[in-house]
Chain A
Amino acid sequence: AQSVSQHNHHVILSEAASLELGCNYSYGGTVNLFWYVQYPGQHLQLLLKYFSGDPLVKGIKGFEAEFIKSKFSFNLRKPSVQWSDTAEYFCAVTPYSGGGADGLTFGKGTHLIIQP
């Protein structure tokens, strides 16, 4: 079975600081990778995803993530955070199953607080 590890459970940054949230997964085969975000009082929503191709993927709101296969990592980055980025961020993985619709395995989440 697969697992996901997010190293930072709580992160506090000032506005305009750069952000990098770590995510490592454990699985012996090909995976699809996701970052989801949960803003206060809102639905969980997709930030970005990686299936194949260019390992640097860009998502919404200026976020990007880099898949490093040799490190089993999929770290999330943003060059300059805003107060509105305050939220909970979840890394998730699902085994590539040729189009099947298995559920996601999530990390425990990182609670990000941006101070004005």
Chain B
Amino acid sequence: DGGITQSPKYLFRKEGQNVTLSCEQNLNHDAMYWYRQDPGQGLRLIYYSQIVNDFQKGDIAEGYSVSREKKESFPLTVTSAQKNPTAFYLCAGGSYNEQFFGPGTRLTVL
């Protein structure tokens, strides 16, 4: 399956709460990515990290935060500042050559 695991598959939160989505990889890739997928919108880049302890904002970083303390892990926090957090979130690992995607987490904010 490409070695990217995301948990949980479905996540429900109340409005105003921060929530952290997990992403782990066993591919030994330096780079990891977070995308958001909305119906009819394709995937949009939230954050990415090319090495441990470093990350860059993507196209839609507002209301999100990340950390990269270990090469294997790249958690995404959806904060209460994110105006429309309900979406399907995809994590990937890889390089310029190819990115391998996880199964995704569907977040619903009630």
Interface residues of A (CB under 8 A from B): 1, 4, 6, 9, 32, 34, 36, 43-46, 49, 51, 90, 92, 94, 96-97, 99-109
Contact = CB atoms under 8 A, between A and B. Distances in A.
Contacts, number: 66
Contact of B42 (A1, A90, A100, A102): A90
The 5 closest A-B pairs by CB, nearest first: A101-B31, A103-B45, A44-B101, A108-B42, A106-B42
Interface stretch (B65-73, B77-85, B89-97): B89-97
A1, A6, A51, A101: which has the most chain B beta carbons within 10 Å? Answer: A101
A43 B103 contact: yes
Contact of B43 (A1, A51, A90, A102): A90
A99 B96 contact: yes
Contacts of B103: 43
Nearest to B6: A43
B30 interface: yes
B50 interface: yes
B42, B45, B101: which has the most chain A beta carbons within 10 Å? Answer: B42
Interface of B: 1-2, 4, 30-31, 33, 35, 40-45, 48, 50, 58-59, 90, 92, 94-99, 101-104
Nearest to A49: B98
B43 A43 contact: no
Contacts of B30: 101
A49 B97 CA distance: 8
A100 B50 contact: yes
Contact of A44 (B31, B41, B90): B90
Contacts of B40: 9, 108-109
A104 B43 contact: yes
21 contacts: A6-B42, A32-B96, A34-B98, A43-B1, A43-B2, A43-B102, A45-B101, A51-B97, A90-B43, A94-B96, A100-B50, A101-B50, A101-B96, A102-B48, A103-B33, A103-B48, A104-B35, A104-B45, A105-B59, A108-B41, A109-B40
